[in-house]
Structures are given as C-alpha cells and as structure tokens.
C-alpha cells in the first residue's frame, strides 16, 4: 500500500466525520413548545388566602337549582285611560252666563261647570209642559171611552181611536222629555216642573260626568256657543294606560292577565296587569301592541311620558348563582369558591340571566359555597398575588 493511497483514504475519512458531525447538529431535537392555554393569562393561584379585613366582608351561598326567568324589556309610553276622559260640549245654542270652574280645578262627579242662557231650552220646557198636558188629557179620554165601551155605550172603533190618540200624545211627550234629559236635566227637575215649581229663566247647566281635573278650558264668560262646541276637557289620572310594542315571537309567550313591571325614569317600579294584546301586528314594525292598566293614585306616572316595560317568562330550575357572584379577570368569567384551605378562582360558563340569577352551565356543582358578597375584595387580593408572583409580566 503506497503512502499516497493511505493519505487519500485518511482525507476521505476525515471529511466523512466532519459532514456527519454537521448533520448531527442540524437534527438536534428541540424542546417542544407547550400549547397556549385558552386561559393562559388568567391568574393560576390555586388558593387565595384572604386577610381578616376581607373575610369579614365576605358572604357565601351554596350553588343550587333556581328558576332563572327570561326578562323581556320594551320601551313604553303612558297614555290616558280613555274611560277616565270626558269632553264637555254644548248640546244647544246659547250664551255662557256663568262659569263655576277653571283650568286646573279638581271637580266632583255631577259638579256644575257652567250655565248657558238659551231660548231653545225655554222652548223645550214649554213644549214639555204642553205635551205633558196633552198626554194626560188623551190618557183620561181613553180610560173614559174604555169604560163606556165596557158598558156597550160606544163602539169598539171609538175605543181604538181614543187609544191611538193616547199613544200618540204619550210618544210626543216622551220625545221632548228625552231631549231635556240628554241636555243634562234630571228626572227630579222634570217632575218639579210638572208640578208647577218656578223655573229660573231658561238656563242650561252643564255638569261633570266624572271626577277629575280640568285640563282644557275653551270657553269664557259671555261667549256664544253652538251644539257640539267643546268647552272643557276633564281627565282622571288615578288610573292610566301604558302601551308597548313587542316582537311577535315574544308576544306569543304572554296572555291577558300576566303581570308586568312599569319602570318610570327616576321613579319607583309599578306592577300592572296586561289587559290587551293587539290581534293584528303592526304593518311597518311587525310588532304586537300591548297595554297595561296601571293604578296611579299618587299621580307619579304622567300621560305621554316614556317608561320601560318588563315582562317575565318563567322557566324550569337550573344550577344558578346570584349575579353578584360573577366577576371577570382578563376576559375570563368566574366565581370564587370557598374551600377548606381558602378561596379558589373558578372559571365558569354562564347561560341565561334574569331576576338577579345567572345560570351556570359548566364549572360548578350543586352545593359548592360561592362568594356572593365581597367578590371585588377577593379579586383585588387575587390580582395582587398574580402581580407579586411575576405571572403578570
């Protein structure tokens, strides 16, 4: 073997070793990176030791099954109850002689509002008295004829004629009587006229048909009025209506008689029954108009003001905690659970909320003690521990 061959072989072997060494470094296994946890930024303190000053402010409740109602909220508007509104109009031509009330006055039912001087009323009173006398004469004639017919002194034809005249006279008198009653005169007043009591001129007095407040006055002393002229408007706001519009799919869940809550701005909530659901949806908004009848004896609700309306849909009990127990740390919703060694930050999956309760779908089991008061204090302790441990950097 020549020296040249040995040298060449050594060079080849050295080159192979060099390439192999380079290849080994290139394929050196790297330490695999751990998968990022979806809650990687959440403090991972297993147990929180709350100082005595914090523990004194904590209150716990057991996680248990509760009804978590679905709360439907909609904007509403207060309106007058139309059964509590009266528009006072004149029923005949005349001139205002006196006015007993004015804008803003509280009035009683049947309280006089104003008096109208009217020649037409005088004519009707005279007509009433004349027709009353005619009806009495006709009735007397019919009774006399009936007796003569029974004694076979007059014919049956005479009896029928007298009966017809009596019916006709009574009808004319009744027609005039109805006119006077429609103008506000009472049966007692008409009875007094029939017995000759003195009539004070020919004044027509308008009275309030309801108790309430005068909210509109369109008449002054001496003004001439015509039939149909609106003189006063009186409203009673001790009961009002509240209207709201609900989407059709929500409206289907309710019925008349269900109880809602009216939330006035800056006022106390008021409960009221649902008394009307429109049978036809609004053509533009595709919503159902609903109405509540609200007792308003303290006059806190003002017609035409805006309010909020709440209706509650019941549900089967589910595992739930008070809403006050929930907290949020770095986009993770959780609760604090009391254990023997301290308090634990437990992420939870929350479902429906309503009535002050929140459904817990994952993360808790029934019977666990959940902090419901003092959650903010525990959260501060947790964050301080998180920063002190260096996990916050």
Q: Is residue 223 scored above 80 in pLDDT?
A: yes
Low-confidence winner among 24-28, 332-336, 349-353, 373-377 (lowest mean pLDDT)? 24-28
Percentages helix, strand, coil for the chain (3-state, rounded to 5) are: 30, 35, 35
Q: Is residue 26 scored above 50 in pLDDT?
A: no
Q: What is the pLDDT of residues 234-268, one digit of tens each?
A: 999 999 999 999 999 999 999 999 999 999 998 89
Low-confidence winner among 216-225, 320-329, 352-361 (lowest mean pLDDT)? 352-361
pLDDT interval class at 202 (50, 70, 90): low
Q: Is residue 34 scored above 50 in pLDDT?
A: no
So what's the pLDDT on residue 191? 80
So what's the pLDDT on residue 25? 40
* Percent of the chain clearing pLDDT 70 (strictly above): 84
- Mean pLDDT computed over every residue of the chain: 84
Which has more confidence, 194 or 220?
Answer: 220
Q: Is residue 123 scored above 50 in pLDDT?
A: yes
> For residues 275 and 253, what is the distance between their CA atoms, to the nearest angstrom?
15
> For residues 130 and 125, what is the distance between their CA atoms, to the nearest angstrom?
9
Task: Please state the rounded mean pLDDT for residues 69-86.
Answer: 93
Q: Rounded to two decimals, what is the model's pTM?
A: 0.62
Low-confidence winner among 146-150, 312-316, 323-327 (lowest mean pLDDT)? 312-316
Q: Are 294 and 239 in contact (CB under 8 A)?
A: yes
pLDDT interval class at 389 (50, 70, 90): low
Q: Are 310 and 71 in contact (CB under 8 A)?
A: yes
pLDDT interval class at 41 (50, 70, 90): low
> For residues 124 and 7, what is the distance between their CA atoms, to the nearest angstrom?
151
Which has more confidence, 189 or 271?
Answer: 271
Q: Is residue 372 scored above 50 in pLDDT?
A: yes
Q: How far is CA 214 from CA 81, 83, 84, 224, 240, in A?
A: 15, 15, 12, 21, 16
Task: Please state the rounded mean pLDDT for residues 96-107.
Answer: 96
Pairing state between β 306-313 and 318-322: unpaired
pLDDT interval class at 42 (50, 70, 90): low
Q: How far apart are the first and last CA of the chain?
A: 69
* Percent of the chain clearing pLDDT 90 (strictly above): 59
């Amino acid at each position: 073997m020549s020296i040249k061959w040995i040298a060449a072989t050594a060079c080849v072997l050295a080159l192979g070793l060099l390439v192999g060494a380079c290849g080994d470094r290139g394929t050196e296994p790297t330490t695999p990176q751990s998968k990022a946890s979806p809650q990687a930024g959440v403090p991972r303190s297993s147990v929180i030791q709350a100082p005595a000053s914090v523990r004194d402010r904590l209150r716990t409740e057991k996680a248990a099954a509760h009804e978590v109602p679905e709360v439907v909220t909609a904007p509403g508007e207060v309106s007058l109850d139309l059964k509590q509104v009266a528009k006072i109009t004149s029923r005949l031509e005349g001139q205002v002689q006196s006015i007993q009330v004015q804008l803003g006055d509280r009035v009683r039912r049947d309280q006089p509002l104003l008096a109208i001087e009217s020649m037409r009323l005088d004519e009707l009173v005279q007509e009433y008295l004349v027709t009353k006398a005619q009806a009495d004469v006709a009735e007397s004639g019919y009774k006399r004829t009936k007796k003569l017919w029974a004694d076979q002194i007059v014919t049956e034809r005479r009896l029928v004629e007298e009966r017809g005249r009596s019916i006709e006279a009574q009808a004319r008198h009744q027609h005039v009587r109805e006119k006077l009653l429609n103008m506000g005169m009472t049966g007692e007043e008409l009875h007094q006229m029939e017995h000759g009591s003195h009539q004070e001129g020919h004044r027509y007095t308008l009275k309030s048909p309801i108790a309430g407040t005068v909210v509109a006055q369109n008449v002054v002393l001496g003004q001439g009025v015509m039939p149909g002229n609106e003189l006063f408007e009186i409203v009673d706001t001790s009961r009002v209506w509240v209207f709201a519009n609900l989407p059709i799919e929500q409206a289907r869940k309710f019925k008349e008689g269900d109880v809602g809550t009216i939330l006035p701005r800056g006022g106390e909530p008021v409960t009221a029954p649902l008394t009307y659901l429109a049978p036809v949806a609004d053509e533009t908004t595709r919503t159902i108009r609903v109405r509540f009848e609200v007792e308003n004896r303290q006059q806190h609700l003002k017609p035409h003001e805006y309010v909020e309306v709440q209706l509650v849909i019941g549900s089967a009990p589910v595992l739930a905690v008070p809403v006050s127990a929930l907290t949020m740390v770095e986009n993770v919703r959780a609760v604090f659970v009391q254990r023997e060694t301290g308090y634990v930050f437990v992420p939870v999956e929350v479902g429906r909320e309503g009535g002050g309760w929140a459904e817990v779908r994952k993360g808790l089991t029934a019977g666990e003690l959940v902090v419901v008061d003092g959650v903010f204090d525990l959260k501060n302790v947790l964050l301080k521990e998180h920063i002190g441990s260096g996990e916050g950097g």
